[in-house]
Amino acid sequence: MKFLVILLALVLTATWLRDADRFDDSWFGRYQRAIRKLAGKADGGGRYPFAAVLGAIYGVLIAIIIILGSLAEGAFYGLATMLLHLFVLLFAMDRTQPGRLVRDFLGSWNAGDRQGCINYLETELRLEGVPRTEDGAVIVAQFKRLLAYRSFERMFMMYALYLVTGPAGVIFGYVSYQLRAELCEESDRTLAAHLERIIAVIEWVPLRLLAITFSLVGDFNSCVSRLRRHLWEFKAASDNAQLLADWARCALSESAACEVKGADFDEAAMRLEIEALSGLLERSQIVWLVVVAVVTLISA
């Protein structure tokens, strides 16, 4: 069933929901603030307040999904369970496909609107550290970095979590990423530090699996050579977005942004690099879908 659910989610996001906005996540900010307030009161200033807060934020939503799964089990010959799984996966995934993100960014880029590109990075991809409008290579490098990581956290991570742990794992991943975004906006670094460790743990294996996938659908030798430097490395504070961007760059045999100097900068070439990254992500999706199908058949 998991293969069918993932396949349906891909078909829906690529067709019917291709140009739709994501589910409104504004409710999560209100939810996590209310839970943090209640958990803080219940803990009464205990020794590990962050554990009570995180446990409550994760626990409530995961418990709801488990209860709904139990109620749906066996109903309508399993159709209710499949629809629940599909809803959870669609809810957690990024319905804005990488292709649309690329089209929207290139719309401003092709028009020569560098400030529009920067605004798009800030609003849509949560860019921190705004580059100068004249630094075209840096703007493109930042877009590629954020595009690769957003695709990873909203699609590939959700596939991996769903395949291993089912809808409860998907909700765990969704809460992790949403809460990190909320905490960054609130500048709550104490809780955010503990959350970063959680995310570093759950991302460690899928991130390297995606890097291996890049090597299979791109420049194998270059990507594997780069991957070896960080294959067994684990740091809670590591920049996984930059790691993924570097692996993607090697898979596409591209130069680093810092190596692109004045006369070497070519707007058309930058556009082709963005399109190449989009193609790399799409090919990687297909590889993961095939692997999921094989795993499903073997485990059946």
In the predicted structure, residue 295 carries a pLDDT above the cut 60: yes
Q: Is the pLDDT of residue 82 over 70?
A: yes
Q: What is the pLDDT of residues 103-137, one digit of tens each?
A: 899 999 988 899 999 999 988 888 877 788 778 88
| Parent domain of 123 | 2-299
Domain count within the chain: 1
Task: State the pTM of this model.
Answer: 0.87
**Which positions ≥6 away from 237 have C-beta within 8 Å?**
196, 200
Rg of the chain over CA atoms, in angstroms? 20
* Residue 284 scores a pLDDT above 80: yes
The region, left, alpha or beta by phi > 0 then psi within -120 to 50, assigned to residue 66 is alpha
